[in-house]
Structure 1
Amino acid sequence: MKNPGPFLTTFFSAVITLNLFDCQVLATNSYDEIIITVQAFDFEPQEVELHLFNKIAVATPNEIGNSKIKTKAYGPAYYSLRSGRNRIEIYLLPGDSLHLDLNWGDPTGTVSFSGDRVVENQFLIDKHKAKEDNGWADFIGLYRSEPEEFQRKLDLGLYSIYSLIGELKSGGRADRTFVQMEMQYPDYRTALMAANYVQNHSRFNQVPPEDINYSEEEAQQSLLNLDNTNVDLLPLPVFREVLELHRRLIWEKRMNQEVYGQGYDIVMKERFRVLEKNFESGKIVEFIKFDYLSFLLRRSGPGDVDSHFAMFLAETENPVYIQAMKTDLKVWEPILPGMQVPDFKFENPDGDAIRLSDLRGKMVYIDVWASWCGPCRQEIPHWDKLVGEYSDRDIYFLAISLDATRESWESMLNSKEMKGIHVYAPGVWNSEFARHFNVRGIPRFILIDAEGRVILPQTERPSGNIRERLDQLLKS
C-alpha cells in the first residue's frame, strides 16, 4: 500500500455539539461559538448541514422538524446552511445565535429570521431575489444572452443591488464589517460575470469564441485590475471567486510553460512561485494556495501532491484552513491506494444482483456515470473503444449508473448499446458506493486491483491518457 503521507498521520476534530431542542427558545452563547436553530415546515427528514469551506457541522431534525447546530466560530463569516440539495446563505459573527423558520423546498422564498443578524440575513435574501428578478441567478440563461442583452441584465442587477446596499447603509443597524464587504459585492460580481462571458456564451450556444462580439481580453483585464490585496474581503464569497479566476489567468499568462511535462512537483512549485510574485499580500497568497490545494483534494484526493498538502499544513496558522483541509483529507482515508473496497452489491439490466467480489481475479476500471450527465455521454464512444481494445486483457470494465430511476438508465443502455458490464446503484449520490468513494461529480473513474483493493480512487477518463496507465499496470 502506498504511504498516505504525513498529512494523514494526525487529525484534530472540531468540537461540534448537536442536539434537539425547543426552537422557540434561543440559547445564550459564548463568544467563540455560533448557534443556529431551524424550524422546518413541510420538511423531509434529511440532515441539516453547515458549510464554510466544507461541511463543519451536521444536525438531524426531530419529529417536528426542529434542529440545532452549535459549533466553533471563525470570525465574521458567510455560511451555507443546507438540507439535501437545497441551501441558504447566512452571515454570522462569533457569539451569534440565529433562528430560521423555513420550508426546505423553497428556503430563500419562505425563510424568516429571529435572533442575531436579522438585518444582515434579510439583506442576503433580498439580494438573492434581486438577482433572480434581473436574470443573474439563471446561469445558463444569462450567458446564452447576446452581448447587448447580457450587459442590460448586468446593469439592471447592479441598479437593484446598489439600491439595496443604500437601504442597508441608511438603516444603520447592520454589522459594519458586513456593510463594507457588501459594498464591494457589485464590482466584483459583475467583473467576474463579464470575464466569464465569452467562454460560457460559446459553450452554451455552440459558437466559436472569435465570433462573439465581446472583448474577453478587456473583461479579463478589468478583473485583474481589481484590488486583490484587501484581506478584509476574504470572508466575502465573490471575492474568493475572483481570486480563483485571477489565479487561473495569472498561471495562463505568466507561468513558464516549459515546466509542463516535467512532473507534477515541478509544476506545483512553479505555480506557487508565480503566485508569490504576482500577489502582494501573503495572506492572499496563503488563501489561494489553500483554495487550490482544497480543489485538488476534493477532485482527486491526495495523489501526487501529498508533500504540498503536508507543507501547507505545517506552514499555515489559520484554523479555518487547517480544519477544512484536514476534514477533506480524512474523507479520502478509506479509499487511499491499497485500501480494501467493501463488497458492494448492484443490479444488472436483468434485475440480478452482482457484487464487486464477482469480478475478483482481474483489475476493474470503473465508470461512475448517469444518463442525464452530458460529460458522461461524451465519454461513451471513448469508453466503447477502450473496452474493445482491451477485450483480451485481464481487466473488467464496470459502468455504475447513478441515475434516479432504472428506467432512465435502461433507456440509455438500449439506445446506445454500450459495452462493458453495466450495473445500477439505487440512491443516486446517497448510494453506498457513491458515499464510500466520495463521489461529488461525474463522470468519475476508479481503478481497483484483482484482489478488490483500491489502485486509484480517481483516474483518467477513456478520452484521456488512461491507456498508458492501464498498460503499465497490466504489465506489473
Structure 2
Amino acid sequence: MKVIFNTFLCFILLFTSALNTFANVNEARAKTTSINGRINLSNEYVISITDLLNKQQGEEYPLAADGSFAVKVEISKPTWYEISFVPIKKDRQLGATFPLLVAPGDDLDFQLNYDKATYLTVLNKSKKSENSALIEYASFSNCTMRDLFYKRDKPEEYAKVINSYLSEAKSLSAKHKVKNKQIADYLNLWSYNNYLSVATSSKQFVIPEELAKQIPSIIDSEMMLTFWNGVFNINNFINSFLNNERDPLNRIAQKSDKLNELFKTKALINAVIQKDFEGFVTSYKIVNTDMFNSDIQRLEVLLSKAGDEQMKSSIMRDFKNLIYTSAGSNIPEVKFKNIAGNDVSLADFKGKYVYIDLWASWCVPCIKEIPFLHELEKEYKDKDIVFVSISLDNNKDDWRKKVAELKLEGNQWELGDSNYDKLMNVTGIPHFILYSPEGKLLQYKAPRPSSNEIKKLFNSFKL
C-alpha cells in the first residue's frame, strides 16, 4: 500500500510540474500587439519600427494615402521601440521619431498631428496611453533645441530653458498619470540626458554642485545607450571631474577609475571608455618604432582592466595595425576582389607607383573626385603609375551598378576579405593612399585628384 501511495504521489508531483511548465511556456509565448493610428502625412512616407536597444534597422510599414497605419508585432515581453515616420524617397524631412514601450497584447492607437514648428501633437481622439507622455516629450525636446539657440546670449533665460528639460518630464508624467515604472524611469532618464547635452557643452552654464553629485545615480542605466548622444554626454560630464592630464593613456586610466567609482552598469562604463580608446587609436601618430612598441605594452595593460573582451581585442588589433599607416611600411599582403569576382593583389604592381582611391557608391564627395581621377589616369597612362579604386560598399550590387552607371574602367576592386580599410585605420572617405615602386607606403593621406598638389607630386617622381 505504501508503494502505491508513493507512486501516486510521484505522479501528482510530475503532473503539477508539467502544468507549471506548460503555464510558464504559455506566459512566455508571443502575443500579437497592435500599433495603429493616423498622422497628417501621406503614402509617400512609411512608419519604421526599430528595437530601441539594439538600434538595428527596423521593419517598415506603408502609410495609407490619408496617413493611417496599422502595425502588428509578435512579442513575449514588454519591448522598447523607436517609431519613425520616414520619407520613402529620402528627399524630404523626416516626419517624426519617438520611443514607445509596448507590452504583449497591447492595442495602441495614436492620432497624431505633425507640424515643423510644433513637431508632434497627440490629438484627443487617441486611445489613452501612458506612452503619450513620451510622444509629447519628444515634441518638447525638438522644440526646446530651437528655443535654446535663440536664447544663447541671454544667460538667465538660457538657464531656465535648460532646467525646463527636467521640469517638463515631471509635468508630463503627472499629466498622463504615468504609473508604469519603465516609462516613468525612461522619461526621467531622457530628461537628464537632454539636460547634460546642453549643460556640459555650455560655458555659460554650471551644473549646481548638489545636482552634479546626484546625476551619476540617476543616469546609471543601460538605457542611456538608447540615446544617440548618451555616451557623449556622460563623457563630457565625467571630464569635468578629471585632472588636466596630457598623456592620453594616463587620462584614459584616470577616466576609467572615475567611471567605476561613479557607475555600476558595466555596459555603460565600457561604452564610454571605448570611445576614448577609439579616439586614442585614430589620433595616434607613430613617431618611432620603439615608442610605438612601448605604447602597445601600455595599452595592453590598460585594456586588461576593461571588461569587454570583444572591445579589448578590437582596440588592440586596430592599434597594432597602425604600423601599416607609417611611412615606409610594406603593402599589406591581402587579397581583394575585382569586378569579375577574382582574387587580386596590390603586390602585382611592384615596380610601379600605386595610387589608391578608397570610395563607396553612396559617398557623394567620392563621386565628385572621379572625373578628376579619370583625367589623371589619362595623363599618366603611359607612366609607371597604377590607379586602383577600392570600394568599401557593403552592398556589392550597389557598387557594380555605380561602376556601370559611371562607366568606370581600369582597376575596379572591392575589399573582399582583406579588411584593408581596418588595417589602414581608415575613418572617412574618400581616402587616397600612395605606395612606392618598392611596395613601401609613401603617403598615408595622399592629395586628392582634384587638388593642385597631386600633379606636382607625380611629376616629382621619375616616371
* TM-score of the two chains, using structure 1 as the length reference: 0.48
Tell me which structure has the larger Cα radius of gyration. Answer: 2
* TM-score of the two chains, using structure 2 as the length reference: 0.49
